Amino acid sequence: MIKSLNGKTPKIGKDCFIAENATIVGEVEMGDQCSIWFNAVLRGDVHFIKMGNKVNVQDGAVIHCTYQKSPTTIGNNVSIGHNAIVHGCTLQDNVLIGMGSIVMDDCVVESNSIVAAGAVVTKGTRIPSGTVFAGMPAKKIKDISPELSQGEIDRIANNYVKYSSWFKES
């Protein structure tokens, strides 16, 4: 479902895939080659959600904001894992948000970083570029090696562009 609300209509870039049961509402803007998967929800009803190019929002993930206070901004080449919650925060470029993790209001996940599966990034946390955060509350566990960056961040983002092409062809 793609729904306008309060005079705001979602803007979808070129070559994007939106699953039939995904929900995109209100002030949502996405770049090119994005994919929004089954049961994902992007609610730009209380503030804006702005996404760059090659962002994948996997099955069951929720992206939302805080009313008139905390929008959600997502850079390029970002993967948001299954059932993750991204709320009123900033994700810079080349970021992986692991499955089932939560990123709360006013957090900044700097470029080339990973939030591990199941992590809870509490309000206002800043994750430095090139690090992996895990746990509850999330803490730095290590720096990212070039192999991990290419092997996870780039691989997953590129795979989701490929996966979405299968659905666009059928």
Question: Is domain 2-169 classified as CATH 2.160.10.10?
Answer: yes
**Nearest-angstrom CA–CA distance, 75 and 111:** 9
113-115, strands of its sheet edge to edge: 17-18, 35-36, 55-57, 78-80, 95-97, 113-115, 131-134, 139-143
Measured CA to CA, the distance from residue 75 to residue 57 in angstroms comes to 13
What is the pTM assigned to this prediction? 0.95
- What pLDDT, on a 0 to 100 scale, did the predictor assign at position 170? 63
What are the 10-residue block averages of pLDDT along the chain, 170 residues in total?
95 97 98 98 98 98 96 98 98 98 98 97 97 98 86 91 86
Check: CB of residue 66 under 8 Å from CB of residue 46.
Answer: yes
What pLDDT score was predicted for residue 168?
78
In the prediction, which pLDDT does 87 show?
98
Phi/psi at 57 (5° precision)? -115, 105
With CA atoms as reference, report the closest residue to 164 among 70, 71, 62, 40.
Answer: 40
Distance CA(30)–CA(24), nearest Å, equals 11
- Tokens standing for residue 150: 């290419």
Domain ranges of the chain: 2-169
Tell me, what's the pLDDT at 146?
81
